[in-house]
Amino acid sequence: MKKLNKLCNGFFNRLDLSDIIGADAAKEDNKLFNKVLDRFLEKGNKEDAFEVYYCFSEIFRLFGKGYDNTQKLLELLSDHEYHSGELLSKHRDHYSHSVYVFALGLAVYAHDKTFRKNFLSFYDLPDNAVSASTYLYLWGMTSLFHDIGYPFQLAHEQIKIYTSELWGEKAGFRPYVSFGNLDKFIAIDENVSDKLSDTLCIDRKFSTLDELLAYGLNKRLGFDENFIVSLLRERIINQPKFVDHGYFGAVTLAKQLLDMPEFKMTEQRLDVITAILLHNSLSKFDLKSSHPISAEEHPLAYMLMLCDELQNWDRLAYGKVSKRDPIAWDIKIDISDNNIEIEYLFDSRYVKDSDNNKRECKSFAEISSGDYAAAITGNGNKNGFLSTSLVLNLTAGECRKKKKSTLYASDNSFINLCDFAKAIHASYLEECRNMQAEYINETFDKLPLEFKISNIEQAKSYAEKLELISCFYSNKDLDYPVVEDFKKSAYGNKNADNLGFLCREEHVRWVKEKLSMGWKYGSDYSSSQERNKKKIHRDIIPYEVLDEKERKKDEIMINNIIPLLKKFGSNIRIYSYRTGRKPDLEIAGTGHRFFKGDREKIKKEIKKIIEKYSESNRVIVRTCFAYGADQLIAECAIEAGVTVKAVIPTDYENYIKVVRKDCIDNGIPFTEEDELRMRHLIAQTAVCKTVKDENYFYTGASKYIVDKCDKLIALWDGKELPLEENGKPVNMGGTYYCINEARKRGLKDGEDIFIIPCER
């Protein structure tokens, strides 16, 4: 069983976007898209989901332009859910849900040969990387936009719930919402109708979107068009029980596409729209008994209905009943030919009802009994809404959910992230304060996708960075002190250099982002174009080693953020908390330079300690970055997402030479890759401080990290080496020296000092 992101990697490995964006950008944008989706699947954050939508929209430019033309369509759904969802009894998020559905469909395409063969055969495509880009386009549009009609259903549901709360479910006089002006809403004008006839290569006219949808269902599933038109009409007009968001999603997407002058409605694109129409109640209730959907006749509808049902984990609950009836928080999954195996992981199989009585979680019970899988594919006497030979093996298990410790007060609406990103791009220029917002928008739009995402990543990081100086941002008018200048230290820690802190934190974030995208330290380039092509950068170094010009860029950017945000008119302001947030807790890391043992097992023990204290503290890890244990502890801290600070015994470049010589003298090879790894690790530190000792090389640096620490992690063989011989100090600065110094400070073994046994 695997994590979903590992299975999605298999799709991107077979993908070639050259036919969409050209050969030069294809490889990099493919890797970037993979990374963005991987980041979302790792945490499931709404802000990370936003980047997936953004990448897809920028690559395929669905509505003539990139994300700007898609923005309202997607963000209105999220806003409606956020503000209206809690008024309903049963409602879960659909914004992040759609990205999970998207990821599932990519994984199935990559690993289920039967489905892939059906899709390729249906559209007469070869099994190659270019066809994968066709699937990405069609499936992305289907899955990412399949719930955009939900605001229509929300409006209908709200009145139902309101009247039920007042008079009960059985009240026969409950009013319901019906939609007027529908005829104009779904009408197709004559020019668009002529264009549809041309692009679909048919000799007929469509006067309404219902007729177009009926044509699409007849083409794929054989339903009588008149029957479908009358059925759609009946299901929408004067509907007392429900409103089908699938219908309104199909109509909304169709209207958006047909409004584009250059858009051509092909049969493939019509399949996208009818797949959205079918995915909710139309196929499952009105058409289920007469026609379960198969992959052979409508692969997009089949895949959407399958993945929409399977995606039943990590969905934010808005409704009252939904909050009381939890679903799985994660899954383990495996996909092979014609087979999907999923274990849904629940925090507990039991919940307590409103009377505090213990009962089995409804979702857990449905999955365990087999009813959940049976409703999809059929089982015994039960008919599923899909016609398939696919084997679904769905199980439920218990696994304690980790507490989320990365929640911040900043108001991360998507318009904020976009405006932040554009302001960041402009803010590196000293003259940017005089730029108009329109110009800033235009220059941002011309950036390569990687750099747009880089600016969005920087915007996302502001919530965390501001939290660390006791600030947050919001577009609401709040009764908190407004921060007008980052140079002032009236917020955060007393006498803190907040400007310098933000500059350092931004450099570390930038280094980590570059490394995650495959960049390396290097200076062998003469232009930015050559640098970007080689993916090397001379500034992947500690902040202290940056030249003054580069540091000045970060300072200009930080200072420009507040005035630039005002230009966009979205009312985003920086506020200061009246009191601080998480307290700092410093952990020193030490250990043998050349140790033996299972590195992965040791890493798990190190991370366990770091993560334990991260739940209620802002953890800072300090090491001296010697070869071996020091670097391993730093690596664990970086992977755990905590701040790392380096304290080294000599100048940066000289220290790398010292570490190389030390390894060679001890019979350990120190390759170019080892040097690059060390450089990259130190480049990700918030501070790289040099503390020299004239008598013993490591003593000054070692004593510094121990004197600062609240806790100590030591990889130690247990041998208490003598620290004095004939009245003179020996073995200074080593592992036992650090442990002894910590004990002298009053730190206790097992409580403050954590020793991980290893051999030298």
Summarised one tens digit per residue, pLDDT across range 49-68 is 889 988 998 888 877 676 76
Same domain, 355 and 503: no
Domain presence at residue 390: yes
Same domain, 288 and 418: no
Domain presence at residue 545: yes
- pLDDT score recorded for residue 173: 64
Same domain, 752 and 606: yes
Domain presence at residue 181: yes
> Which residue do the tokens 């779904």 mark?
186
Q: How far apart are CA 264 and CA 195, in angstroms?
A: 8
Q: Are 30 and 15 in contact (CB under 8 A)?
A: yes
pLDDT band at 741 (very low <50, low <70, confident <90, very high): very high
Q: How far apart are CA 167 and CA 162, in angstroms?
A: 9
pLDDT band at 532 (very low <50, low <70, confident <90, very high): confident
Same domain, 607 and 512: no
3-state per-residue secondary structure call for 314-377: CCCECCHHHHHCCCECEEEEEEECCEEEEEEEECCCEEECCCCCEEECHHHHHHHHCHHHHHHH
Q: How far apart are CA 529 and CA 507, in angstroms?
A: 21
Share of the chain above pLDDT 90, in %: 46
Domain boundary residue, one of 398, 433, 452: 398
Domain presence at residue 532: yes
What CATH number should be reported for the domain holding residue 589?
A: 3.40.50.450
pLDDT over 50 (residue 260): yes
Domain boundary residue, one of 398, 426, 456: 398
Provide the residue count of the chain: 760
Alpha-carbon dihedral 75, 78, 83, 84, rounded to 10 degrees: 120
Same domain, 519 and 441: yes
Domain presence at residue 309: yes
Question: For the segment 711-738, what is each residue's pLDDT rounded down to a tens digit?
Answer: 999 999 999 888 877 777 878 889 999 9
Domain presence at residue 405: no
Same domain, 156 and 14: yes
Q: Are 635 and 709 in contact (CB under 8 A)?
A: no
Same domain, 173 and 101: yes
Q: How far apart are CA 148 and CA 144, in angstroms?
A: 9
Q: Are 40 and 48 in contact (CB under 8 A)?
A: yes
Distances 731 to 140, 197, 649, 724, 734 between C-alpha atoms, Å:
61, 86, 15, 8, 6
Q: Which amino acid is at 282?
A: L
pLDDT band at 414 (very low <50, low <70, confident <90, very high): low
Same domain, 531 and 630: no
- Whether the predicted model's global pTM rises above the 0.85 cut: no
- DSSP-assigned letter for residue 711: E
Domains held by the chain: number: 3
Same domain, 571 and 686: no
- pLDDT score recorded for residue 26: 82
CB atoms inside a 10 Å sphere around CB 222: 9
Rounded average pLDDT over 409-429: 71
- pLDDT score recorded for residue 381: 46
Domain presence at residue 408: no
Question: For the segment 428-468, what is each residue's pLDDT rounded down to a tens digit?
Answer: 765 665 666 666 777 888 888 888 888 888 888 878 888 88
Bridge-based pairing of strands 728-729 and 724-725 is: antiparallel
Domain presence at residue 404: no
- pLDDT score recorded for residue 323: 57
Same domain, 684 and 611: yes
Same domain, 352 and 440: no
| Domain range for 433 | 414-576
pLDDT over 70 (residue 529): yes
Highest mean pLDDT among 71-75, 341-345, 466-470: 341-345
Question: For the segment 181-232, what is each residue's pLDDT rounded down to a tens digit?
Answer: 888 989 999 989 999 988 898 988 999 999 999 999 999 999 999 999 999 9
Q: Are 104 and 310 in contact (CB under 8 A)?
A: yes
Same domain, 294 and 316: yes
Question: For the segment 662-691, what is each residue's pLDDT rounded down to a tens digit?
Answer: 999 999 999 999 999 999 999 999 999 999
Domain boundary residue, one of 576, 599, 632: 576
Question: For the segment 360-392, what is each residue's pLDDT rounded down to a tens digit?
Answer: 888 899 999 998 998 898 764 457 889 899 999
Radius of gyration of the chain (CA): 29
Please state, rounded to an integer, the average pLDDT across all residues of the chain: 85
- pLDDT score recorded for residue 380: 46
